Amino acid sequence: MLSSPVRILVLAVFLAATLPVALASAQAERFAAPFIDAIDSTLTGEQPPDLALDAIRGVPDEVLPAFDQWFGENAHRMPPIYLFTYADRIYPVDQVQAARWFFAGRTRLLYDALRCRDTSVFERVAEVDSVLATIVAFVQDNPAEGAAAGKWALKWDSTHDVIERPDALLRFCLTGIRGRRLAIQQGKVEGVTREADLAKHPGIHIPLPDVDSAQGWVQPKSAYPKARGDSFMITQRVIDQLVSRR
């Protein structure tokens, strides 16, 4: 057994080595707190989603390790757009981690799309691929890392239950062609009254139409298990394509 003076010396050396790390970690967590609080406030409905997206984009590099741990523990509570935004934010710092969250968000977005009666909402998936073209290119140029990121995302998704947000799902399902047509009929699109006019103005903002209920727009809950299984299958198909390119 070590004598008291030796034990004190060992303890002093240990504290000298670990205290700065602990302080740095505590400081990082403190600086990450406002960003975390902003996201939490949108998940509870207190604030609009735009606040969370701005918070994710604004996380400083030095705070990312502490924020990343919290994000990984809470991402299952978030809609896909949060995951895509985080993937875009961390891509300059960690391409592999960005690819993981890209695949996780894409799988959950597919799950949403598969639950909509209007299949044209799959355009949203193509839009995400276009907006995050840099991450897509990384996955294509690095098939081994891309396939591993996809497998990580599938494991993450399968071990984290989806928190259902019926209102958000309905809004998403209204972004398809049928929803746009209805918005035009309801006069919600200024200066555009016909579908032919809409085709000439692809960049115009289309407000969502007013609907009485989700019926006719969202698949019944009995279809949800198949939709989730199909979302996994589609992601696995992408992984298989990447593996075949090695």
Any bridge partners for residue 116, and if so which? 218
Distances (CA, A) of 168 to 79, 128, 157, 206: 9, 17, 19, 17
Q: How far apart are CA 218 and CA 34, in angstroms?
A: 35
pTM of the complete model: 0.82
| Token reading at 99 | 């690819």
What is the reported pLDDT for 184? 86
Alpha-carbon dihedral angle through residues 231, 115, 117, 124, given to the nearest 10 degrees: -60
The closest alpha carbon to 76, from 162, 159, 154, 155, belongs to 162
Q: What is the DSSP letter of 57?
A: H
| Residue 94 zone, left/alpha/beta (φ > 0; ψ -120 to 50; rest) | beta
Flag residues of the chain having pLDDT under 50.
1-2, 11-24, 198, 201-204
What is the reported pLDDT for 203? 46
Instruction: Provide, rounded to the nearest whole percent, the portion of the chain with pLDDT above 90.
Output: 65
Q: What is the DSSP letter of 210?
A: P
| Token reading at 124 | 């949203």
Instruction: Give exposure, 51-77, as e/b (b: 16+ Cβ within 10 Å).
Output: ebbebbeebeeebbebbbebbeeebbe
Model confidence pLDDT, tens digit, residues 102-154: 999 999 999 999 999 999 999 999 999 999 999 999 999 999 999 999 999 99
| Token reading at 82 | 């949060």
- N-terminal to C-terminal alpha carbon distance within the chain: 56
Give Cα 237 distance to the centre of its chain. 20
What is the reported pLDDT for 194? 55
Q: How far apart are CA 104 and CA 84, in angstroms?
A: 9
What is the reported pLDDT for 3? 54
